[in-house]
Amino acid sequence: MPKTPAAIDKMRAAGRAAASVLEMIGEHVRPGVSTEELDRICHDYIVGELDCVPACLNYPGGEHQPPFPKSICTSVNHVICHGIPSATKVLRRGDILNIDVTVKKDGFHGDTSKMFFVGKPSVLAQRLVEVAQECLYTGIRAVRPGTRLGDIGHAVAAHARAHRFSVVREYCGHGIGEVFHDEPEVRHYGKPGDGLALQAGVTFTIEPMINAGRRHTRVLPDQWTVVTRDHKPSAQWEHTLLVTEDGVEVLTRRAEETI
């Protein structure tokens, strides 16, 4: 459902807060740092500096799945998403890292993620990360009133396939607002003309997960961490978006971005 003007203002504030976490943490991403230390830094910033709630912390799992135990997700190399920060996971030169942040501010959520290079990546990893970001931007450029969700998914998948990469199908974007994960489900593949037509005032995420190898996934015994079955690298970028009367507003846009 479209948001009211007051709710949209709160979504903008939550989006700016989430974006600022990713802007802050970049200088701390370096060889030798543990993902648990990155989680601690982000947690302290979200709670202490932003006066927000880290929405991932204790996020409920499924019926037999434990709550998520940390404040951010840290997904390294072949981890697709939902990587749990750990003191034993120490970053090394050449790693690629996704940090996924969701904050709750005044009852509304801002959800975003960014890829980071730890030192110099391999040629394949750099290309994967760049194409994954292009996939996100391609999806964003398709957003306007009347666009159907299938149009967005088709645009994302077509760009990935053009570069010989695959799109994860088990995990997708989502509506967002007072509820963290809400309707609609925003898939990163689809057919033009299919699915829900967007209306001005709707807020949702696009967050394509792009694999260097096959699209197939596997969940680790911790019941959260999702990895590629073939152990080839994966990359993801995410933004929270608002459909405007004539296009789209990126609520989690960082200062470094020109979209």
Residue pair 135/188 in contact by the 8 Å Cβ criterion: yes
Q: For residue 134, how many other CB atoms are within 10 A of its CB?
A: 18
pLDDT, tens digit, 9 for 90 and up, residues 183-221: 999 999 999 999 999 999 999 999 999 999 999 999 999
Q: For residue 251, how many other CB atoms are within 10 A of its CB?
A: 24
Q: Which two tokens stand for residue 175?
A: 């509506």
Residue 22's alpha-carbon distances to 27, 42, 102, in angstroms, are: 10, 9, 10
Low-confidence stretches of the chain (pLDDT < 70) are none
Distance between CA atoms of 224 and 40, rounded to whole angstroms?
Answer: 19
* Domains identified in the chain and CATH numbers: 5-250 (3.90.230.10)
Nearest to 213 by CA among 168, 159, 169, 166: 166
pTM of the model: 0.97
